[in-house]
């Protein structure tokens, strides 16, 4: 674009964009999507773009997304140094979520922006503060005459109690300036009020909480609005929450557009939203949330987010309107009416999308991972991710969304076999992750929608729709299926499998019937304008209608299966890989077809692939897309090959069903995948190669398990076969524990054995490699800081393996090369090893992309996904300019640190083990280990404050290893608190320590008190093997997490942390990623 | 990704795929046939019978009751592009005139179990009461894309079309009359003079060509006293009411058929009585000052049309419902007329001003209902114009 971009304060030539850091609950992939769009939008305008983010698993931190990419901790000091180095004209703060926004406010307040002449772009600081500060915001709304809920701001418990005397309970508590409403809740009793208010005050960085009248039962409605500096205001989308007020919008089932609002209600709230963003002076995107009385025109403004958000990502995907992109352009002074609607390519961006379909979003909760977590949902968000589905009916969109969730409840037909009427009623009355299924179960048992409305306050419109689905289920079950009923069922989103189950036949037979009747989905475009204008976007969804709009792509093409919702064990890393694969295909002249169901991601951006199908990742949906791309009968060409190795387990699970349909699977063959997953075959395979694995066996009974465990000796690692993210994996120390595990294992059959392996304590090592069938390229070797036993996804990983001997590395390279070649890998392969007593053992082989691929790509500069995609396209590594073997070690150290969302999940054990618990990751990169590790801690929020007090409570077997570390902590000036045994150890070594008792409630203070009272600033707690201790420890670990202080549960992490902090301090480098790969100093 | 692959595929994607002959056709008992030969089958609802008229679409996602009762839809079979219609029922407050005027309604799905605190019944029952046939289960997006290509079309909506062959339906569609071919304004206007609003407020005469209630409400809510007179009322009678301002309302049909109104407009302008033309009232103003109108290929109907004010660059989102436009090159700019507002989508004329005369004239619907209320401020401007004009007169006297 030739026009110079100028804000009212002068030209903008370079812009600093802040990312949102690691994925945590409340702040997920949507900010990679937003930041990536923003960087692209700025560079289109000829602006030098500088990005800072600590999360390597993002597309935005790819070196070609911005002119300078910094993977550094998001702290004021880092930002100051980046500004000093880059001297940007402006800072764009509204695209990095609450993290980016808070950091920008901090940096501005510290005077850093002023000192270097950096302007805050987009929404002014004053507007941000007015929207974020509850008191200022309420003042503004009062001035505008916009109704708000009876509420007050308090900073003490006494003030809260006084308010509760005037306004009846229940009261909602919302702390100021926290992520995803952390620390909030609804108080029904005075006791709950005390507890939640105290928690909220401590969670809020400004010690402020809002108390307000509960609007339980009111409708919750959101508007996504935009405004430019010329005061043009538009709404992109409105959304209605199926769950009425009381459930965080991130935890609500959301429908777009609103379904039960008349035009008068719709426009009343729209006008209000525009008045508010005008009054605030927002320049960019903004989200306004309302409560609407279901029995009158009364409404209340609940909240404003003066930035792009999860909701704006959802609205972008629901409408096709790229909110983040437009926000970035507005920030540098562009006007909406001079920007083009990128979807139609013709009309202006100053318009409001019209939808001609319904969109349903359902959150994805982590309760399948955290059996102990409290499943009730409320004002504190607990979902890690979400799915979205589009259809021409609400029922279709809802059922497709359910099928996209990939939980045990594969579809709406699922019920827990233990549910009684009472349980169902309770699940309906109290919001929780199973409520949707409970509603269906209740209707099946003859409850009326009216009764369910009384229990849940969910709008009758939605309940009647569910009743309609139950009626359809009954008809399918009793009448058998004919053409009309099948058509009706498909239009209501029933899968072939559901219909088959209801009518007593296989899904294959249902499909055969559909084929005979000529009943296949058509694909319609998401075009922002309800078909009014011709559009140039390749964004489609399936529906059972008359006319198709997605003519098969001519020429060469391949389909990339995405990874679905973000969940623990399958995070943004796989979306990163999918996006890279699509781009690599495109660059090779092969049209990329992306299928995914996650609205938060870059992969579902309409320009991330040549064609996007927003569909569930199940065999039926992907199969229909493939058939469709052949023109139904092959007239559109061959069936496109399918790439499953980048979409995590979701995609891998589709390999077998698709292959059985004759679809060609690119990359490692189905047989290679099976070989790696089938315990019996895998054992024989490694034996054949002469490569050791820990002794063990697959068992199908308790007696077998005991026999194996006794033979190989405790401790043993037990897990079900076919696992994802280490689900239900445990280290077992004795016979009782083993018996308990086996009893709890859901099913023990020859098809689903349990694996019992010797648990080898040692250095854990992980390798990602690319294999073309002849050569194996190993970009690098990662060493885990924690010895085996902590899930690799939860471990600190270091590149290069700094404690590995050359001979060990040689063996790793040798084993990796031989395994990759022998297993027949094509593309990526991930292998985990443990070095025990000087010997290398294979723990696991995955012939697919792993979650460390983005980290390793960034650390080593090897474009791993691109090379792997090239291999699948038939180009050898050599043809792509690479050789086999270990890639030269880079002159840097990169540390991957896990990030947890424990504070959001009440009841969840913090202690790490073989079960994965982290939601995200950060990278610390520097010239040597200590500063790299220190930066990783800083970015993960695990760094201890430079001075203060630390509570130590260590397991007996860790004590010997801990003495050096304790000495270091003392030398660094920390005051130590410790429980009985640990304190005795410290005293024995002549160091000062304050003893606190382990026995909670039996001493003054006890170990819980010193955490809750804020006496200590960090906790190092390593639980021993005995269960009792684990349970005792749970309380203090929870307390630390909820108090927001670092809590380290592995002695290895604690030692590395102490070393890093002692020697690195604040002496770390800040420079763009590629600079680390060059020799010499970066200053 | 914006290079060859994408361009090729999207170009193709914009071309409708012909319906394979063997694709499943659900049972149907109603049909919508267009004169150009396209037939959509579906399920009957609303009143049994046949509708004939012009097939048009509107992209408004809410406000079907207002659409049904907007007199400007007289003679048209309206396709709602939003697929779920009737969700919040119909109520006693949202009628925009004394009855629905649409000839027929086309939807993807209509709700038999509406939910809203104001709902007094289903859309189905409402249409039955007013004898309006409708069809559901139609691929309304396909219909919309078709209309986008061929333009607003002569059409019939047929109940009991189960066994009727396409050819017969198409033949009937070809014989359908469209609004421009009969006196639709005469059909919708109320014959009586009606007076509303407080005594003593500025007196606004609204010339009813098919006025919507929210225009009157918007004036009354701002303190005006409103007298509604039917289109065709002579200027002498209007002048006798001593109006402080005159509004010429929206209405159906072709403005070129409405010569009787031109004298009224010219006389209002000559008397320098503040004039507010809305939609048809805007088109009549244009014709009265010598400009011409012509038919759009397919009308602007919906609640998301961006309009830019050329004077200050400000963009607002407007509610629209019109088949005809003012031809910009025919506007007598040499006589101090100016095209002040333009549609950002197609550049069409959205508003005219005069450098001296007290005139407001907009193609869109500031009264919204349905649609965004961004331009309600125009009613304030009109009343401000009236008080300025009164002040000027007082000063002159």
Which tens digits make up the pLDDT trace of A680-733?
899 999 999 999 999 998 888 888 999 999 999 999 988 876 654 445 678 888
Tell whether omega for the bond before B370 is within 30 degrees of 0, i.e. cis.
Answer: yes
The reply to whether residue B141 touches residue A530, judged by beta carbons under 8 angstroms, is yes
Separation in Å, CA of B235 to nearest CA in chain A = 36
User: Residues of B with CB below 8 A from A537's CB?
Assistant: 10
What is the arithmetic mean of pLDDT over A300-319? 94
- Tell me the C-alpha distance between A59 and A607, whole Å: 13
Q: Which of residues 608-647 of A touch B (CB under 8 A)?
A: 608-611, 632
CB contact under 8 A, A532 and B22: no
Reported as a single tens digit per residue, the pLDDT across A727-770 is: 567 888 888 888 888 877 655 666 778 889 999 888 999 999 99
The confidence score (pLDDT) of residue B4 equals 42
pLDDT tens-digit map of B296-316: 999 999 999 999 999 999 999
**Residues of B labelled as active-site residues:** 279, 365, 367
Which A-chain residues 527-556 have CB contacts (< 8 A) with chain B? 529-538, 540, 545-551, 553-555
| Average pLDDT value for residue range B214-231 | 97
Q: Do residues B157 and B78 touch, judged by C-beta distance below 8 A? A: no
Does residue B136 carry a pLDDT above 90? yes
> What integer pLDDT is reported at residue B8 of this predicted model?
45
A1004 phi, psi to nearest 5 deg: -140, 105
Distance from CA of A390 to the nearest CA of B (A): 12
Residue B239 Cα, gap to closest chain A Cα (Å): 36
- Between chains, do A461 and B148 touch, taking CB under 8 Å as contact? no
A591 touches B at CB < 8 Å: yes
Percentage, residues of chain A above pLDDT 70: 95
> Cβ contacts (< 8 Å) between B6 and chain A: which residues?
536, 538, 610
Helices A30-44, A310-319: axis angle to 10 degrees equals: 70
Mean pLDDT of the B54-81 span: 98
Pairing of strands A48-53, A14-18: parallel
Note whether B63 contacts A262, CB cutoff 8 Å.
yes
A460 CB near a chain B CB, below 8 Å? yes
CB contact under 8 A, A487 and B370: no
Residues 1021-1080 of A with CB under 8 A from B: none
Residue with tokens 């150290």: A893
Q: Using the beta-carbon criterion (under 8 Å), do B148 and A531 form an inter-chain contact?
A: yes
Tokens of A89: 């004209």
- How many angstroms separate the CA atoms of B322 and A651, rounded? 50
Q: With beta carbons under 8 A apart, name residues in chain A contacting B139.
A: 545-547
Neighboring chain B residues of A358 at a CB cutoff of 8 Å: 83-84
The complex's ipTM works out to 0.96
B50 to B73, B109, B131, B132, B160: CA distances (angstroms): 17, 19, 10, 8, 9
CA B83 – CA B305 distance, rounded (Å): 20
Position A177 scores a pLDDT of 65
Instruction: Determine what percent of chain B is predicted with pLDDT higher than 90.
Output: 89
Answer whether A262's CB lies under 8 Å from B91's CB. Answer: yes
pLDDT at B5 > cutoff 60 = no
Residue of A267, A453, A533 to mutate, interface with B, max B Cβ within 10 Å = A267
Q: Smallest CA–CA separation between B351 and chain A, in Å?
A: 18
Q: What is the largest CA-CA distance in chain B?
A: 80
Q: Within 10 A of A6 (CB to CB), how many other CB atoms are there?
A: 12
Contact criterion met (CB < 8 Å) for A230 and B60: no
| 3-22 of B, contacting A, C-beta below 8 A | 5-10, 12-17, 19-20, 22
Q: Strands A233-241 and A299-305, how do they pair?
A: unpaired
The domains located in chain B, with CATH, are: 26-179 (3.50.30.20), 185-396 (3.40.50.880)
Write out the DSSP string of A467-516. Answer: HHHHHHHHHHHHH---HHHHHHHHHTT--HHHHHHHHTS-HHHHHHHHHH
**Å from A602 to nearest chain B CA?**
13
pLDDT digits (tens, 9 = 90+) for A616-655: 999 999 999 999 999 866 666 789 999 999 999 999 999 9
Q: What is the mean pLDDT of residues A192-214?
A: 86
Q: Are B268 and B247 in contact (CB under 8 A)?
A: no
> Would you state the pLDDT for residue A1007?
84
Q: Which residue has the higher pLDDT, A683 or A369?
A: A683
pLDDT tens per residue, range A966-997: 999 999 999 999 999 999 999 999 999 999 98
Give the end-to-end CA distance of chain B in Å, rounded to a whole number.
69
List CB contacts (< 8 A) between B88 and chain A. Answer: 260-262, 461
DSSP helix, strand, coil percent of chain B (3-state; round to 5): 30, 30, 40
Q: What is the pLDDT of residue A749?
A: 67
Q: How confident is the model at residue A909 (pLDDT cuts 50, 70, 90)?
A: confident
The DSSP element (H or E) to which A1012 belongs, if any, is helix A1007-1012
Among B residues 27-86, those touching chain A with beta carbons less than 8 Å apart: 27, 40, 57, 59-63, 65-66, 81-84
B118 to A262: CB separation less than 8 angstroms, yes or no:
yes
Handedness of CA B291, B297, B302, B305 (dihedral sign): negative
CB contacts under 8 A, B 336-375 vs A, are 344-345, 368-374
CB distance from A207 to chain B under 8 Å? no
State whether residue A350 sits within 8 Å of chain B by CB.
yes
The Cα of A718 is separated from the nearest Cα of chain B by a number of Å equal to 47
Assign A305 to helix, strand or coil.
Answer: strand
Whole-structure pTM value: 0.94
Asked if the model's pLDDT at residue B18 lies above 50, the reply is no
- The per-residue pLDDT for range A60-87, each reduced to its tens digit, is 999 999 999 999 999 999 999 999 999 9
- Comparing CA positions, the residue from A813, A723, A807 lying closest to residue A768 is A813
Residues in B closer than 8 angstroms to A529, CB to CB, are 59, 304
The nearest CA of chain B is from the CA of A550 a distance in Å of 5
């Amino acid at each position: 674009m030739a026009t110079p971009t100028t804000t009212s304060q002068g030209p903008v030539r370079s812009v600093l964009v802040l990312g949102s850091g690691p994925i945590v609950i409340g702040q997920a992939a949507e900010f990679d999507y937003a930041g990536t769009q923003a960087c692209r939008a700025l560079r289109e305008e000829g602006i030098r773009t500088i990005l800072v983010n600590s999360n390597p698993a993002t597309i935005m931190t790819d070196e070609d997304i911005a002119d300078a990419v910094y993977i550094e901790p998001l702290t004021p000091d880092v930002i100051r140094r980046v500004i000093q180095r880059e001297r940007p004209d402006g800072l764009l703060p509204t695209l990095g979520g609450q993290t980016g926004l808070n950091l920008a406010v901090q940096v501005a307040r510290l005077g850093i922006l002023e000192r270097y002449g950096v302007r805050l772009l987009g929404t002014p600081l004053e507007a941000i503060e007015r929207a974020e500060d509850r008191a200022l915001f309420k003042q503004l709304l009062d001035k505008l005459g916009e109704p708000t809920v009876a509420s007050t701001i308090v900073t003490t418990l006494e003030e809260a109690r006084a308010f509760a005397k005037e306004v009846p309970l229940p009261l909602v508590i919302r702390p100021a300036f926290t992520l995803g409403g952390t620390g909030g809740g609804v108080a029904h009793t005075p006791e709950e009020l005390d507890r939640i208010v105290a928690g909220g005050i401590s969670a809020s960085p400004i010690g402020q909480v809002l108390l307000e009248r509960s609007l339980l039962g009111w409708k919750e409605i959101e508007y996504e609005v935009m405004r430019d500096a010329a005061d043009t205001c538009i709404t992109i989308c409105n959304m209605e929450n199926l769950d009425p007020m009381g459930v965080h919008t991130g935890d609500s089932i959301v429908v777009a557009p609103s379904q039960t609002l008349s035009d008068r209600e719709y426009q009343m709230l729209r006008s209000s939203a525009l008045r508010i963003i005008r009054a605030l002076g927002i320049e960019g995107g903004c989200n306004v949330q309302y409560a609407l009385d279901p029995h009158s025109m009364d409404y209340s403004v609940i909240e404003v987010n003066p930035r792009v958000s999860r909701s704006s990502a959802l609205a972008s995907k629901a409408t096709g309107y790229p909110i983040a992109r437009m926000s970035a352009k507005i920030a540098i002074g562009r006007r909406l009416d001079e920007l083009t609607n990128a979807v139609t390519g013709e009309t202006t961006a100053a318009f409001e999308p019209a939808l001609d379909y319904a969109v349903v979003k359902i959150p994805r909760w982590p309760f399948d991972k955290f059996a102990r977590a409290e499943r009730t949902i409320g004002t504190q968000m607990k979902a890690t991710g979400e799915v979205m589905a589009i259809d021409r009916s609400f029922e279709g969109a809802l059922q497709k969304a359910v099928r996209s969730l990939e939980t045990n409840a594969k579809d709406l037909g699922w019920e827990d076999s233990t549910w009684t009427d009472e349980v169902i009623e309770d699940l309906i009355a109290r919001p929780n992750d199973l409520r949707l299924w409970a509603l269906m179960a209740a209707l099946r048992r003859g409850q009326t929608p009216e009764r369910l409305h009384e229990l849940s306050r969910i709008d009758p419109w939605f309940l009647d729709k569910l009743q309609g689905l139950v009626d359809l289920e009954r008809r399918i079950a009793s009448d058998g299926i004919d053409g009309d009923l099948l058509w009706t069922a498909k239009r209501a989103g029933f899968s072939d499998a559901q219909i088959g189950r209801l009518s007593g036949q296989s899904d294959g037979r249902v499909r055969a019937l559909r084929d005979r009747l000529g009943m296949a989905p058509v694909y319609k475009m998401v075009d922002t304008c309800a078909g009014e204008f011709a559009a140039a976007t390749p964004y489609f969804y399936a529906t059972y209608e008359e006319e198709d709009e997605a003519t098969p792509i001519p020429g060469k093409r391949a389909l990339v299966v995405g990874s679905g919702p973000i969940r623990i064990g399958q995070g943004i890393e796989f979306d990163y890989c999918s996006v890279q694969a699509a781009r690599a295909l495109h660059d090779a002249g092969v049209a990329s077809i992306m299928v995914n169901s996650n609205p938060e991601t870059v992969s579902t951006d309409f320009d991330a692939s040549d064609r996007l199908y927003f569909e569930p990742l199940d065999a039926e949906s992907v199969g229909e897309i493939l058939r469709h791309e052949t023109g139904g009968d092959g007239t559109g060409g061959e069936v496109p090959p399918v790439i499953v190795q980048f979409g995590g387990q979701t995609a891998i699970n589709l390999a077998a069903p698709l292959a059985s349909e004759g679809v060609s699977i690119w990359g490692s063959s189905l047989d290679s995948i099976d070989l790696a997953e089938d315990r019996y075959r895998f054992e024989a395979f490694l034996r054949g190669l002469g490569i050791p694995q820990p002794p063990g066996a697959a068992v199908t009974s308790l007696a077998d398990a005991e026999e194996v465990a006794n033979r190989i000796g405790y401790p043993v690692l037990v897990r079900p076969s076919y696992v994802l993210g280490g689900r239900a994996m445990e280290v077992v120390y004795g016979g009782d524990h083993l018996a308990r595990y086996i009893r709890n294992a859901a099913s023990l059959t020859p098809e689903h054995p349990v694996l019992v392996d010797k648990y080898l304590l040692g250095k854990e090592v992980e390798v990602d490699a690319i294999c073309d069938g002849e050569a194996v390229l190993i970009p690098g070797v990662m060493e885990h800081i924690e010895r085996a036993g902590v899930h690799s996804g939860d471990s600190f990983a270091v590149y290069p393996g700094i404690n590995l001997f050359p001979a060990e590395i040689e063996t790793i390279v040798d084993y990796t090369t031989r395994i990759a070649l022998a297993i027949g890998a094509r593309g990526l392969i991930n292998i985990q090893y443990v070095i025990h007593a000087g010997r290398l053992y294979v723990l696991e082989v995955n012939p697919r992309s792993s979650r460390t691929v983005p980290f390793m790509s960034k650390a080593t500069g090897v474009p791993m996904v691109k090379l792997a995609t090239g291999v699948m396209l038939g180009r050898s590594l050599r043809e792509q300019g690479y050789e086999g073997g270990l890639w030269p070690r880079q002159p840097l150290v990169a540390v991957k640190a896990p990030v947890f969302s424990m504070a959001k999940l009440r009841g969840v054990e913090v202690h790490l083990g073989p079960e994965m618990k982290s939601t995200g990751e950060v990278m610390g990169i520097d010239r040597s280990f200590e500063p790299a590790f220190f930066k990783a801690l800083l970015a993960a929020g695990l760094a201890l404050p430079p001075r203060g007090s630390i509570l130590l409570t260590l397991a007996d077997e860790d004590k010997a290893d801990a003495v050096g570390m304790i000495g270091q902590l003392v030398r660094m000036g920390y005051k130590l608190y410790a429980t009985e045994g640990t304190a005795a150890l410290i005293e024995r070594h002549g160091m000062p320590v304050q003893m606190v008792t382990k026995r909670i409630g039996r001493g003054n203070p006890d170990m819980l008190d010193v955490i809750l009272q804020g006496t200590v600033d960090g906790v190092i707690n390593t639980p021993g093997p005995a269960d009792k201790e684990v349970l005792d420890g749970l309380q203090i670990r929870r307390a630390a997490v909820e108090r927001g202080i670092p809590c380290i549960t592995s002695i290895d992490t604690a030692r590395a942390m102490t070393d890093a902090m002692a020697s690195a301090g604040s002496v770390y480098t800040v420079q763009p990623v590629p600079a680390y790969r060059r020799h010499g100093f970066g200053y | 990704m914006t290079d060859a692959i994408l361009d090729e595929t999207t170009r193709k994607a914009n071309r409708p795929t012909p319906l394979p002959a063997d694709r499943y056709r659900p049972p149907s008992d109603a049909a919508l046939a267009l004169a150009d030969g396209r037939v959509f089958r579906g399920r009957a609802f609303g009143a049994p019978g046949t509708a004939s008229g012009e097939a048009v679409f509107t992209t408004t996602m809410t406000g079907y009751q207002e659409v049904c009762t907007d007199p400007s839809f007289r003679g048209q079979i309206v396709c709602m592009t939003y697929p779920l219609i009737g969700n919040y029922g119909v109520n006693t407050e949202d009628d925009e005139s004394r009855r629905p005027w649409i000839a027929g309604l086309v939807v993807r799905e209509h709700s038999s179990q509406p939910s809203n605190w104001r709902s007094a019944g289903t859309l189905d029952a409402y249409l039955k009461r007013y004898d309006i046939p409708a069809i559901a289960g139609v691929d309304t997006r396909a219909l919309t894309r078709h209309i986008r290509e061929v333009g607003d079309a002569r059409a019939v909506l047929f109940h009991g079309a189960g066994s009727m062959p396409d050819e017969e339906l198409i033949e009937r569609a070809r014989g359908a009359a469209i609004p421009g071919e009969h006196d639709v304004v005469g059909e919708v206007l109320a014959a009586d003079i009606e007076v509303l609003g407080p005594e003593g407020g500025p007196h606004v005469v609204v010339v009813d060509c098919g006025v919507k209630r929210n225009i009157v409400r918007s004036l009354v809510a701002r303190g005006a006293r409103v007298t509604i007179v039917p289109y065709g009322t002579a200027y002498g009678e209007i002048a006798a009411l001593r109006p402080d301002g005159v509004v010429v309302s929206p209405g159906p049909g072709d403005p070129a058929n409405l010569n009787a109104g031109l004298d009224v407009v010219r006389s209002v302008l000559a008397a320098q009585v503040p004039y507010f033309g809305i939609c048809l009232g805007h088109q009549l103003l244009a014709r009265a000052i010598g400009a011409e109108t012509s038919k759009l290929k397919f009308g602007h109907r919906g609640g998301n049309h961006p309009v830019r004010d050329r004077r200050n660059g400000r963009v607002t989102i407007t509610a629209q419902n019109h088949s005809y436009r003012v031809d910009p090159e025919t506007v007598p700019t040499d006589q101090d007329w100016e095209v002040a507002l333009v549609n950002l989508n197609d550049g069409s004329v959205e508003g005219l001003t005069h450098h001296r005369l007290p005139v407001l004239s907009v193609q869109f619907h500031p009264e919204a209902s349905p649609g965004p209320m961004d331009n309600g401020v125009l009613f304030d401007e009109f009343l401000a114009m009236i008080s300025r004009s009164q002040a000027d007169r007082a000063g002159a006297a």
